Amino acid sequence: MIDLFSGLDAWVLVSLLLALFFVLAFEFINGFHDTANAVATVIYTKAMPPHLAVFFSGVFNFLGVLLGGVGVAYAIVHLLPVELLINVNTGHGLAMVFSLLAAAITWNLGTWYFGIPASSSHTLIGSILGVGLANALINDIPLADGVNWQKAIDIGASLVFSPMAGFLVAALVLIGLKWWRPLSKMHKTPDQRRKLDDKKHPPFWNRLVLVISAMAVSFVHGSNDGQKGIGLIMLVLIGIVPAQFVLDLGSSTYQIERTRDATLHLNQFYQRNHETLGEFLSLGKSVPEDLPGKFRCNPQQTEPTINSLLGTLKGVSDYHSLTSEQRIEVRRYLLCLDDTAKKVGKLPGLDKREKSDLDKLRKDLTATTEYAPFWVILAVALALGLGTMVGWKRVVLTIGEKIGKQGMTYAQGMSAQITTATMIGFANIFSLPVSTTHVLSSGVAGTMVANKSGLQGGTVRTILMAWVLTLPATVALSAGLFWLASIALGS
């Protein structure tokens, strides 16, 4: 790892270390900001003592990051338009990274201080969107091209609908439990359990389910939210020291050949569908010198891009053998080809089998660009895990007592946690970032309505206000910071 940073100018090295510190600080804050969402129910219901609940939550968050993969990480990265991702330079990278991190950390700390269960996912996504929009304004790019709007819509839909689904599913689970065991002790609150049964802890089976589901929420939180930190660090590394990180320098000969084969097969795919795609891709019309422009990926330049990529990779068995400029070019070609393939996949005229083949080619094409070194994953896992072990008290009371007009029953806690763990697990499968905060708090609200406990209007309004304001506030904050940073750095 150390040799990757050798030979850097002192100011670049300091900037890089500072940026990495900022990302890990964001993940640490994310840990203690969102810990309560994973442990609120087991602490409130006294299924686990606070110190044990927080410790094991930290452990499972750590494991979630280590085992979660990088699908969500690159879903976050690709919120930025491909043009911004392919044009890497140190000054621009610094402005982008510090702006979005400063905005995200500021909002996260503010909402945590006031005990508001705001979403770190919304915070980060708003910050990235702000940078993309500000970059478009600075470089006279149409706002429609300033952000990968399709990816933003997909992620936005998951962030909007997941709390609604959490509310509904948790309510249905609770209704099912009440129908199945209407007289069970699981429908008591901790206060009722202590007064009526003179017992401090939940019944054994209820306690076991609460503990297991809380650890499951911690694990999926780590595997989803931790990946956001991984994506941020990769943005930092690619933006500040592109020569070392634009491609996975640890790629094996087989992986490089797989990338080259995917490029060849992509070309064959386009020729096979010449009648449908010929005009869109200008097949057979491009001149050899017509390569992707510095700031643009043009579908009509696909053929020369493929030829240039194959020429650069010819005989290459180790990315270390490429010069720094060649590595940056290879990544630019790969991202442009992937971007064009994504657009082709949405065109009418291709059957489902062809679209499925295209999706597989895209995965092989980007296999050596969408990666994360193990040390990055480990660093994020440690930051999130350690952050999880502090700062939980401010939000636990909000989740347990201030959402509903009555305290939470054991059954409500189980319903909300099982729903949250399941929904975030499915989101991980489809590489969609979701908010643990909003899924769990809306799940608790759903169980309160299903239990006819009522909702506390003040708390619900505060949570909804944070939900509504987070995106516009972080977009504006990060955009302003990026504009100022760009001016200061002369980008």
Q: What is the largest CA-CA distance in the chain?
A: 84
Please compute the mean of the pLDDT values over residues 194-202 and round it to a whole number. 85
432: pLDDT confidence band, cut at 50, 70 and 90?
A: confident
Q: What is the pLDDT of residue 192?
A: 85
pLDDT above 70 for 36: no
Mean pLDDT in the chain? 83
pLDDT above 70 for 117: no
pLDDT above 70 for 74: yes
Strand, helix or coil at 430? coil
DSSP 437-488: HHHHHHHHHHHHHHTT--B-HHHHHHHHHHHHHHHHHHHHHHHHHHHHHHHH
For residue 284 the two structure tokens come to: 């057979």
C-alpha 55/C-alpha 102 separation (Å) is 28
Those residues with Cβ within 8 angstroms of residue 358's Cβ, 6 or more apart along the chain or in another chain: 269, 341, 344, 345, 350
Flag the least confident range among 58-72, 172-186, 434-448.
Answer: 434-448
Q: What is the pLDDT of residue 402?
A: 52
pLDDT in tens, 25-34: 888 887 876 6
Higher pLDDT among residues 6 and 215, named by residue:
215
Burial (CB < 10 A; 0-12, 13-18, 19+), residue 480, is middle
Q: What is the pLDDT of residue 260?
A: 95
Please compute the mean of the pLDDT values over residues 328-340 and round it to a whole number. 91
Question: Hey, what's the torsion of the CAs at 341, 346, 347, 352, to 10 degrees?
Answer: 90
Q: What b-and-e string marks burial along 150-188, b requiring 16 or more CB atoms within 10 Å of the CB?
A: ebbebbeebbeebbebbbbbbbebbeebbeeeeebbbbb
Helix (H) or strand (E) holding 359: helix 352-365
Those residues with Cβ within 8 angstroms of residue 219's Cβ, 6 or more apart along the chain or in another chain: 60, 61, 63, 64, 421
Q: What residues does 404 pair with on adjacent strands?
A: 455
- What is the phi/psi pair of residue 404, to 5°? -100, 165
Q: Distances in Å between the alpha carbon of 313 and those of 259, 261, 263, 291, 322?
A: 9, 11, 10, 16, 9
Please compute the mean of the pLDDT values over residues 406-428 and round it to a whole number. 89
Higher pLDDT among residues 459 and 197, named by residue:
197
C-alpha 435/C-alpha 81 separation (Å) is 23
Q: Are 55 and 416 in contact (CB under 8 A)?
A: no
C-alpha 116/C-alpha 102 separation (Å) is 19
